[in-house]
A and B are shown apart, each in its own frame.
Chain A
Amino acid sequence: MGNRTPLYDAHVEMAAKIVDFAGWDMPINYGSQIEEHHQVREDAGMFDVSHMTVVDLNGPDVVVFLRKLLANDVARLKQEGKAIYSCMLNPEGGVIDDLIVYYMNAKWFRMVVNSSTREKDIAWINQQAAFFDVHVSERTELAMIAVQGPNAIEKVKQVMDDPVTEALNELGVFFAVDVGDFFIGRTGYTGEDGYEIILPEAMAEKLWFELSEVGVEPIGLGARDTLRLEAGMNLYGADMDETIGPLESGLSWTVAWEPADRDFIGRESLEVLREAKPTQKLVGLVLQGKGVFRNHQKVVVAGVGEGEITSGSFSPTLDKAIAFARVPVGTEAECSVDMRGRLLPARVVKVPFVRNGKSCLPEDI
């Protein structure tokens, strides 16, 4: 038996197929992964993401500390409640983890990091924090439910009381609010509008069933993966890791180079790489024809070289195989992918593949 979230019994009751995910017993689907995917694109779905790690950072040095720890710059956050996506790098410029950090006030930031990297993240953050007047606390007593989809906002408001609903009415995209028992961020991992709700463990089941009653369907980790891939969002451990940094994984936009004197961890190594020019890049692929991309399939770019699929799957929205692939920088519009011994043609495209329920592909695909 693995770790269980406070919603484990609810998943079993809702006929979830449970699998091991980084030591947690988590729902992979509740019947059909594809139907769950469409449910989020067309209506509203909820995800138990209580296995993810919530870390609070408090203290007078919190801003200085985070400007050292993260490749993106929290000084860009001017308004309370605003969030930023960032990589946390090692000195070699590899990615220890990717995360969201919410700026709540000058002395409190809340960070959400991956569950599969929990132990090393906490150890690393504590090790770096030793040099600053900042307190690091892991909030294991909190649960987290993401509600995503075009009707997510409206349905969450239906189950919330007045003070919360009023706060939500004011909540902009990529902002969070701490109201009553809830910490609610208008963030997510699907490319749809919606919320990520952090709340006390003991209240999780009640909210889960209330959401279910207003027609929010439970969504498993299987659909979570196809949704994030369509949305062009990286997955830690697949698309980047401690040996592959942001410049080679489509995350250059998350590195704040200015101001030039901000000495974040990993900066020196990244600058060397930027100067020398990376030899690889992360691109989106769409299969021309039938089949499904899988992780680690070989990509062949005629006259240029070879690469590899880092996240490959089937896009239920586009009804095509899509992938992220790490390829030589000289790769242009076309390539081939070795699929079970056959080289099949694929198009190189800009990501996201899907945003707010609509295809982002060029019209000729």
Chain B
Amino acid sequence: MSEIPGELKYSKSHEWVQINDDGTVLVGITEHAQDLLGDMVYVEVPEVDHEVEVEEACAVVESVKAASDIYSPVSGIVTESNEALTDSPELVNSDPFGEGWIMRIKLADRADLDALMDAAAYAEHIESEDH
């Protein structure tokens, strides 16, 4: 069973969302997602100031196995991208919930957060996909 931190929110497409007090969210992919994809070799992060819509494909992670779009879990403006992933894509594998974060988004509408799952619901979601 992969790690699912209780303080984060989750999307069906396996992004995690950390909600911050300053009205931004930090987004990455889950332990489970990186495990499915395998070793990362290339991550394309969104440009800063890029405006994203909820469920818009705005980043790409490529592993030895497959390329996978990362969907924005919320609408807003990208305020920061994890440039470290350009040279060290393996951070997504080694520390998916920490140094492997992908982008920071300034929320346009807090209501977007209501559609996300908590850890327990996400655990069930993984379970249902596995079977």
Contact between chains at B38 and A292 (CB < 8 Å): no
A-facing residues in B13-60 (Cβ within 8 Å): 38-39, 41-42, 44, 60
In this assembly, does A114 line the interface, its C-beta being within 8 Å of a C-beta of chain B?
no
Contact between chains at A32 and B62 (CB < 8 Å): no
Instruction: Give the number of A-B contacts (CB < 8 Å).
Output: 34
Contact of A314 among B64, B90, B93 (CB under 8 A): B64
State the Cβ distance, B123 to closest chain A Cβ, in Å: 20
State the Cβ distance, A85 to closest chain B Cβ, in Å: 26
B-facing residues in A281-311 (Cβ within 8 Å): 290-292, 294
Alpha-carbon distance between A29 and B62 when the two chains are bound, in angstroms? 17
* A33-B67 contact, Cβ under 8 Å, with A290-B42, A314-B41: no
Please tell me the number of chain A residues within 8 Å of chain B, measured between CB atoms: 14
Q: By DSSP majority rule, is chain A's interface helix, strand, loop, or mixed?
A: mixed
State the Cβ distance, B45 to closest chain A Cβ, in Å: 12
In this assembly, does A313 line the interface, its C-beta being within 8 Å of a C-beta of chain B?
yes
In this assembly, does B12 line the interface, its C-beta being within 8 Å of a C-beta of chain A?
no
Alpha-carbon distance between A294 and B60 when the two chains are bound, in angstroms? 15
Chain B residues contacting A294 (CB-CB under 8 Å) are 66-67
Alpha-carbon distance between A34 and B38 when the two chains are bound, in angstroms? 9
Chain B residues contacting A290 (CB-CB under 8 Å) are 42, 44
In this assembly, does B110 line the interface, its C-beta being within 8 Å of a C-beta of chain A?
no
In this assembly, does A352 line the interface, its C-beta being within 8 Å of a C-beta of chain B?
no
Chain A residues contacting B90 (CB-CB under 8 Å) are 34
| Chain B residues at the A interface, C-beta cutoff of 8 Å | 38-39, 41-42, 44, 60, 62, 64-67, 90, 93
A sample of 24 cross-chain residue pairs with beta-carbon separation below 8 angstroms, ordered by A number, consists of A28-B38, A29-B38, A32-B93, A33-B38, A33-B39, A33-B64, A34-B39, A34-B41, A34-B90, A222-B38, A222-B64, A226-B64, A290-B42, A290-B44, A291-B42, A291-B62, A292-B64, A292-B67, A294-B66, A314-B41, A314-B42, A314-B62, A314-B64, A340-B67
9 closest Cβ contacts across the A-B interface? A34-B39, A314-B41, A292-B62, A33-B39, A290-B42, A33-B64, A314-B64, A32-B39, A33-B38
